[in-house]
Structures are given as structure tokens and as C-alpha cells.
Amino acid sequence: MKQITVILLLSIEVLFAQDINENIFGFATSNTFTYCDVNDTSFVNKVKEINPQVLRFPGGAVGNFYHFGKKGYGFDFNEIDKYHDGKFPKRSRGLENSRHKKRQEADYIEDFILLANHTNAKAVLVANLFVDNDDILLMIEKLQKNNIEVIGVELGSELSNRSYFTKGYTIEEYILSSKKCSDKIKHKYPKIKTAIVAAPLAKRKGHRHNVWNAKLAEMNFYDAIIIHSYAKVIKGKDQYGQMLSEETEGKNKAEAFGIYKDRAIKYLAEEYPNEVQKYISLFNKPIWVTEWNLQMSKTTGNTLLQSLFVAQYLLELMSNPNLSAIELTTYHNLGGRDFSGSIFRNNKEEIEIQSTYYPFLMLGKIFENDIVRIEKEQFEYQCFDIENNQILNYKIDWKSKVIICDDFSEQGSTASIKYESRNLFDKADVNGELQIEFIID
């Protein structure tokens, strides 16, 4: 007998259902085509099993400096050094060295097209605003010619960050270049939405992030705002979604991960909905979360804790009215070399699968079965089709350390998936497995 179980947490309250937007089940492809081979059928089939609805290209920082028609990402290192004062100049050179060693001569958009066509996914693109050319129009044209729907364009990525600010990049420059880019897109492709980069919320009234947001909120040339979400559950210094240093907490691993668990739950139940409502009150626009994950750390990466978090994050998006303004998300990241973010990790040219793979595989069933609403009661998520039939049921149980998906789509039988482990800190093996069962009754 085969069995699969996945469990999500139960919450105390009952929330009203809301319409399901398939564009929230997206994945960023930053670095993916440097480290993962789209001609590898094993890799592509694994991605297809997740059932992505949207893929993001080229990615965050790599998108800010991408040049169409060049090799790989087509980096211009003079451009990167001019506008970025952080770690990306070094990272971009590392990506280019890897591309050169692997003899990858084509523009990565070719690999993106192959993957998008294999998965039937739509595309959200990131525009390079540091150059005034027609690259973004050429990208859209190329994807459309290859039968890929482009649903939106990000007008840059994280350009309010200090790494750009210390190089002299200002909100005035951003408004000028983003509006020009948006107008250009809408002139030729009026149905494609554009989104501006919203800065992180700051507590101090005169903080440059608040000034950035206030000036953009006065504009109306865009359709949505972009935010990024990295839930910080470990004490320490962090930057741009990644832990730089960590403080030891608890008497042992189990106690420490119990603390992380409580913070993750509080983030999903209180902090994140409150943050989203603040953005809504400021901009009154739909929200795109084009990067989201736990704050990336080798401590929590590839653990059951991360699995539970990503499963509950998406189910909350589909059931919590306070998050209904979020109309698009792309998880960071699909494939790469990092240990804590990517679903597929290149380790010495071998592709390893991380602990988030099976939760995403389970959640992909929502979009296979045309679910139109999800009702939540105590972290149990009941999924209904347009005829009011319950097709799926998810449970997330942090205490029992399990995610469960019950599938009722076949009349007269229930197929269940169960993903669990004894400890929240347990890490998945190279196949992405902790303890997994597939059950058909």
C-alpha cells in the first residue's frame, strides 16, 4: 500500500473562503539555468510534478542587470559595479564563471522558454531599468512567439535597497525610469500589467524607505506593487532575505526549533497580514510577492520546519481575507546552488531535492483540480470545486510535525500524502524525503 501524508497547522478561528488565484503558485528561476539542465528529463519531470502556474525570469538582482540576446544573463560588469555596492558584483562574476565552465553559450531565456513550455507556466518578467533600450519588449515578443503568456513585468527588483542607494541611486531616478519602461510596455502590450518596487516598511517617519513609498504612492502609472517576504525566525543579523549571523537560543536543538516554530506561526497569523494591510492602506493596489521564503539560513534550510512553513504560507494566502490583495507570488527559489532556498540544489553537479519539494507537490493538486475556494478551520484547509464538492483537505500540524493532504477527486476512494518527521530540525535526504507515505484507500 502506498501512502503520502502532509500536515499543516490548525488554527483556532474559522475564516471565510475567497477566490483562488492560480498566479500565486509561482516560482522564481534566479540562477536556475546556470546550475540546472533543462535538457535533463529527470529535473524537468520533477518540476512538472510541482505544477507551477507562473515562472519568474530572469530573477531578482540578475534581472536588474540582464541583457537580452547575450550569453547567459548577458552581464555588463561595468554596469553592475556602477549601480550595486553589495555582494552582487562578486556573485555575478561567479555566475559568469560557472556559465563559461559549462560552455553555456545561449541566452538563458532559451532555457526559460523550454521550461515554461514543458510546465505550461505563464511568465512574469523583471526589467533592467539601468539601460534605456527595448530589451523588455523583445523579451515579451520572444515569449509570446513561443506561446508563453506574459502576465506581468516587474519594474526592477529591490531597487530601494541600500546596495543601490550607496551608489547614488535615488527615488527620483527610479520614478523616471520605471514610468518610462511601464509606458513603453503598455503602448505595445496594453494588457500586460506592470508593478513597481515598494520599499520595506520603516518605523521612523522620515526614513528613506518611507519617503520612497510615499512618492510612489502618489503615482498611478502602474498596476501593482512588489514586496518580498522572508520570515525571520532566528535572532541575529540579516540582509536581503539571508541570515548573516545567528544567535544561539534554547538549551538544545529541539528547544531552539520550538522557538522558531512559535515565531513562524506568529508571522503567518499576525505579523504578515498586518504588514500587508499597511501596504494596502498606503498604495491601494494589488500586491505581487515575487520572492518569499523563510529567512534563508543553513540552520532552518532543508528542514521539516521549512516544509511546514511554505505549505501554511500558501494555504493562508488562499484562505485568509487579510491576504486577499496578494494576486501573484513566486517562491524563491526553484533551482540553484544554495542550501536553504532552492527546491533543487546543485551539489557538485548532482541535483539534490530539498525538503520543500513534497509540500509544493501536494499544493500543486489545488491547481490540477480547479479548486475555486478554500475554507479554513483551525489550520485545516478544505478545498472545494465550482459545484461545491470537497476535492482536497490539508492539515498542518506543527505539534505532530506532519503535513497531510487528502485527495477525494476520485469517487469512492481517498488518496493521501503524509510528509513528516520526528523533529522539526530534521533535514531531508538528497531525494527530498524525510518520512513520506502515499496511501490509497
> What amino acid is encoded at 90 in this protein?
K
Query: H/E element holding 56?
Result: strand 54-57
Q: What is the mean pLDDT of the chain?
A: 94
Specify whether the CB–CB gap between 391 and 384 falls below 8 A. Answer: yes
Structure confidence at residue 5 as a pLDDT band (50, 70, 90): very low
Closest C-alpha to 213, from 285, 292, 132: 285
Q: What is the mean pLDDT of residues 358-383?
A: 96
Instruction: Report the distance separating Cα 9 and Cα 15, nearest Å.
Output: 14
User: Residue 62's closest CA among 164, 156, 200?
Assistant: 156
Which pLDDT band, with edges at 50, 70 and 90, does 241 fall under?
A: low
Calculate Rg over the CA atoms of the chain: 21
Which residues are paired to 303 by β-bridges?
427
* pLDDT band for position 2 (cuts 50, 70, 90): very low
Which pLDDT does position 163 carry in this prediction?
96
Residue 51 Rama label (left phi>0; alpha psi -120 to 50; beta): left
Residues 276-300 have pLDDT tens digits of 999 999 999 999 999 999 998 999 9
At residue 203, the pLDDT reads 86
Name, in order, each residue with C-beta under 8 angstroms of 195's C-beta and a sequence gap of 6 or more: 152, 153, 154, 155, 222, 223, 224, 225, 226, 288
Is the peptide bond preceding residue 286 cis, with omega within 30 degrees of 0?
no
Strands 287-294 and 415-420: unpaired
Alpha-carbon gap, residue 196 to 299, rounded angstroms: 33
CB-based contact 345:339 (threshold 8 Å) = yes
Give the pLDDT mean for 243-265: 91
**CA–CA dist 62, 88 (Å, integer):** 9
Task: Find where cell 523550454 sits.
Answer: 114
* pLDDT score at 412: 83
pLDDT of the residue at 240: 61
Q: Are 180 and 132 in contact (CB under 8 A)?
A: yes
What's the pLDDT tens digit per position in 12-69?
Answer: 333 344 579 999 999 999 999 999 999 999 999 999 999 999 999 999 999 999 999 9
Q: How far apart are CA 88 and CA 67, in angstroms?
A: 16
Question: How far does Cα 12 stand from its chain's mean position?
Answer: 27
Q: Does the pLDDT of residue 246 top 90, yes or no? A: no
Using the CB atoms, write b or e for 362-387: b if 16+ within 10 Å. Answer: bbbbbeebebbbbbbeebbbbbbeee
Residue whose C-alpha cell reads 531552539 in the numeric block: 256
Q: Which three cell numbers stand for residue 225?
A: 506593487
Closest CA to 314 of 49, 8, 29: 8
Q: What is the pLDDT of residue 18?
A: 59
**pLDDT confidence tier of residue 238, bands split at 50, 70 and 90:** confident
Round to whole Å and give the CA distance between 193 and 154. 9
Rounded-to-5 percentages of helix, strand, coil across the chain = 35, 25, 40
In this prediction, residues 323-333 reach a mean pLDDT of 98
pLDDT digits 0-9 by tens, 73-117 = 999 999 999 999 999 999 999 999 999 999 999 999 999 999 999
Q: What does the block give as the cell for 151?
A: 502576465
**CA dist., res. 50 & res. 57, Å (int):** 18
**Dihedral (C-alpha) 127, 132, 138, 140: value to the nearest 10 degrees?**
30
Whole-angstrom distance, CA of residue 66 vs CA of residue 343: 23
CA angle 175, 180, 184 (to 5 degrees): 150
**φ, ψ for residue 410, nearest 5 deg:** -95, 115
Kindly report, residue by residue over 168-216, the tens digit of the pLDDT.
Answer: 999 999 999 999 999 999 999 999 999 999 999 998 988 999 999 999 9
